Chain A
Amino acid sequence: MKWWLIAWREIRWEVFLDRASLLRTGVFVVIPLFFVVSNRGIPAGAAGDATLIGLALQSVFFPALSGVALIAATFSAEKENGTLVPLLAAPIRDFDIVLGKLVGMVVPVMVACTVTLAAGYGLAAYRYGLPRVAHALSPELLYAVLVLSLLYLVTTGSVTMIVAARVKTSRAAQQIAGLVIALSAVLFAGLGFFASQLGEGWPLLGLGVGLVLADVIALEVARRVWQREEVIGRV
């Protein structure tokens, strides 16, 4: 369980004490809530349901986007500051380091996603009425949305870790993380639209299966690329 020690250290001492990352996450939390508040109205029927589903997807994916930048920052900063060397000198498997760092970033971001989704749900219920919102966003669908955001976060986090292992500076890692964020924002906007058009939960399931596969591939590539040989060679 040494990965949990690493994860908890990240959460307790890095994420919660890093004002820049807190501010960034805060901005990504507020944006989807602003969309809920500024929406002019929800039409009746399937079109309105699709809008509400779209807002729910935005509520989780915007905070998840901030997680990508967070993961890029933590890995490259460790390399840049040399703090990875004492970690690599400790009797821990490489996998524990990778998993610990990933979990340390994913847990607080998932908390942000859940809080944003709950706040967005509350705001939408206040504006459009609870029965209307509850009809469009069933508990199963909300759960599926959260699971999707987790899968998305692990996938992009793994990709970002690969990038962070290859580049030399935090700046380079942040720039590439920015690119991943931009591309994934476009991708998920499209996926959200696609999912809301098909309805019945099957597209979401398909999306989930696709992301799980992407997760497995990305984690495997991250594990292979993120080897101490590679990292130490660049420290």
Chain B
Amino acid sequence: MIEVRHLTRRFEGTLALDDVSFEVHPGEIVALLGPNGAGKTTASRIIGGILAPSEGDVLVDGISVRKDANAVRARCGFVTDQPSLYERMPLRAYLAFFARLYDVAQPDIRAAELAKLLGLDDVLGRKLATFSRGMRQKVAIARALVHDPPVLLLDEPATALDPEMSQMLRGFIVSLRARHRAILLTTHDLDEAQRIADRLVVLYKGKVLRTGATADIRAAGRPSYTVTFAGDPAIARDALARAGIDTESASARDGLTALRFAADDPAVVNPAALRALLDAGLRVVTLAAEERSLEDAYLSILAEARR
């Protein structure tokens, strides 16, 4: 549905995107991650036909953004981090205005449908200036859906939303995936990405650092393990160090102590760690693989790139 092909974009001599390629398929949520200035917003604006690429191309539903940007815009729904609404307009008039811009057949009916879908049907006649932050973001989403687009470009849609609204928004995005939409989610919220994204694209200084399934990216890198035991942590550290295993403290409960260590070859390192601790007279309670968070994986990818 979205094919980004060798996309490059320059702004007055600055390289914002450098040979970026990835795809988003129907019924899939792809999260575009990266630090500030990585080129995420530029990428989503080019995909949505708002900006032109300097080199490369984007195909949306098979249509080149270079050849027919208007047709691409007609197939994309765009949500920005700031709702950016016309404050003086009431909700019904606002949504109907955008429905008309997108050539929707019955703009007023569509406005009412969308308001109902997002739980705003009781405020259709109210001016947007009076809406709360959460309601405003809902309006921005309704605006993006006004023409029922097959592609959704969500640029930090949950910024400044409270946890309840964020959860509702996540549920809504997932429901759109179930309706076979191709969704590109630009976000800094790694928890959000971990929860709903099927695949990730990590950008850094305009280049794609890593792309792949969310689970694969989380699992990549050195696996780490936590051993929990009763006894003196200094003795445990000493015993493990003698076995060639570097450790760091981890959180533990019930009066136990926990140490974390990385293992390139768990089949060799884990038995060695157990043996060292038991030989030192410590009572080992658990030895478990640590589930790596997306944040850990993301930070290690960035650290690797900076090196």
Contact = CB atoms under 8 A, between A and B. Distances in A.
A19 to B, nearest CB: 11
Interface of B: 11-12, 45, 48-52, 70-71, 73-74, 76, 78, 80, 82, 84-86, 88-89, 93, 97-98, 100-103, 140, 143
Interface residues of A: mostly helix, strand, loop or mixed? Answer: helix
B98 A93 contact: no
Interface residues of A, number: 23
Interface stretch (A47-55, A82-90, A169-177, A203-211): A82-90
Contacts of B49: 89
A92 B88 contact: no
Interface string A59-92: 0000000000000000000000111011111111
B60 to A, nearest CB: 12
Given A9-B97, A17-B88, A93-B70, A232 B82 contact: no
A88 to B, nearest CB: 5
B78 A86 contact: yes
B45 A86 contact: no
Contact of B88 (A14, A86, A228, A229): A14
A232 B12 CA distance: 13
Contact of A92 (B76, B78, B80, B101): B101
B86 A5 contact: no
Contacts of A81: 84
A202 interface: no
A100 to B, nearest CB: 10
Interface in A214-235: 228-229, 232-233
**Of B11, B71, B97, B140, most A-chain CB atoms within 10 Å:** B97
A2 interface: yes
B183 to A, nearest CB: 16
